[in-house]
Amino acid sequence: MSCPVFLTETARMAAARPGGLVELDGPEGRHAVTVRRLRPGETVMLTDGAGWQVLGEVRRAQPPDRLSVAVTHTERLPAPDPLLVVVQALAKGERGEAAVASMTEVGVDVIVPWAAERSVVRWDPARRERARGRWQVTAVEAAKQSRRVWLPRVEAVHGTAEVLGLLRDAEAALVLHESASQPLAGAWLPSGGRVVLVVGPEGGISPGELEAFAAAGAAPVRLGQSVLRTSTAGTAAIAVISARSRWA
C-alpha cells in the first residue's frame, strides 16, 4: 500500500534535509494523527503542492494535530510541461466534481469551469466562489490520493468570451466534438507551453460556440465512435494527451 500524502508549507519543504525533522500541524497534522492514526515508523510523503516532495518516517505523533517526520529523501520536481488546461462545462449534480477528481488523477493542471450556452447548471454570483471552492478541494484530495506534487488549480467560472481568450493564447487549442473528423490521437501537440481542451455540457456545444472556437484557432477533435458524458470525456482526453505529450 502506498504511503499517505500530506500538504504543508513551501518553507518547510525547502528547509528539509535528510536526517532532519519536519513538523506537520494544523488540519493536515490533525488528519494524520487523529483521523489516520499514524504511528512511529510509518512512512509518509509531504509536499507543498508546488513541486517539493519529502519522504520520511513518523518519529512522533502527538494528539491532536502534531506529527514529527524524520526526513529520508527530498526532491523538487519541475513543473509539468506542457501545461494541460481543461475548460470544463458546468454539469448537474455531482458530475462536475467527479470530472475534476478523475481529470486530476490523469494529469490535468488547470481546470476552468465554463458557463456554456447549453449548461443546465448555473453558478449564480452568490454561490460561485463556494462552488469553485468545492472543485478545488476535490482536486486537492484527488491529487493527494494519486501522489501528485504539483496540485491542479481551479479557476473562477468563465463565460464563452473569456474562454475564447484562453484558446487564442494557447500553443494548442482543442475542442471535443462528436462530429469532428480529426481523432485526438492524431492531433498536433506542442512539446511545451499550454494545451487548452474544451469539454462541452450535457446538451453539447452550440453551433455558435463551435464557430467562435474555430475562429479563435481551436481544432475540433473526437475521442472515438462513442459519445462520452461531460463527466468522463475530459478524463479520457487528458489521459491521451498526457501519454502523448509527457510520456512519449
Along the chain (248 residues), what's the average pLDDT of each consecutive run of 10 residues? 90 95 95 95 96 97 95 96 97 91 97 95 88 96 96 97 98 95 95 96 94 98 88 95 85
pLDDT at 153: 97
pLDDT at 2: 79
Residue at which a domain ends, from 76, 105, 123: 76
Same domain, residue pair 109 and 205: yes
pLDDT at 155: 97
First to last CA, the chain: 28
CA-angle at 227, arms to 146 and 215, nearest 5°: 95
pTM listed for this prediction: 0.94
Same domain, residue pair 47 and 89: no
Same domain, residue pair 216 and 241: yes
**Number of domains forming the structure of the chain:** 2
Residue at which a domain ends, from 33, 61, 76: 76
Residue at which a domain ends, from 42, 76, 110: 76
Same domain, residue pair 100 and 170: yes
Residue given cell 449564480 in the structure block: 124
pLDDT at 247: 74
CATH number (domain holding residue 26) = 2.40.240.20
CB burial of residue 238 (10 Å; 0-12, 13-18, 19+): buried
Residue given cell 500524502 in the structure block: 5
pLDDT at 86: 98
Same domain, residue pair 41 and 150: no
Same domain, residue pair 153 and 229: yes
Same domain, residue pair 59 and 160: no
Same domain, residue pair 36 and 141: no
Identify the domain containing residue 95 by its residue range: 83-245
Same domain, residue pair 213 and 232: yes
Same domain, residue pair 116 and 232: yes
CATH number (domain holding residue 111) = 3.40.1280.10
SS (H, E, C) the chain: CCCCEEECCHHHHHHCCCCCEEEECHHHHHHHHHHCCCCCCCEEEEECCECEEEEEEEEEEECCCEEEEEEEEEEECCCCCCEEEEEEECCCCCHHHHHHHHHHHHCCCEEEEECCCCCCCCCCCCCHHHHHHHHHHHHHHHHHHCCCCECCEECCCECHHHHHHHHHHCCEEEEECCCCCCEHHHCCCCCCCEEEEEECCCCCCCHHHHHHHHHCCCEEEECCCCCCCHHHHHHHHHHHHHHHHCCC
Same domain, residue pair 89 and 70: no
pLDDT at 126: 82
Same domain, residue pair 129 and 214: yes
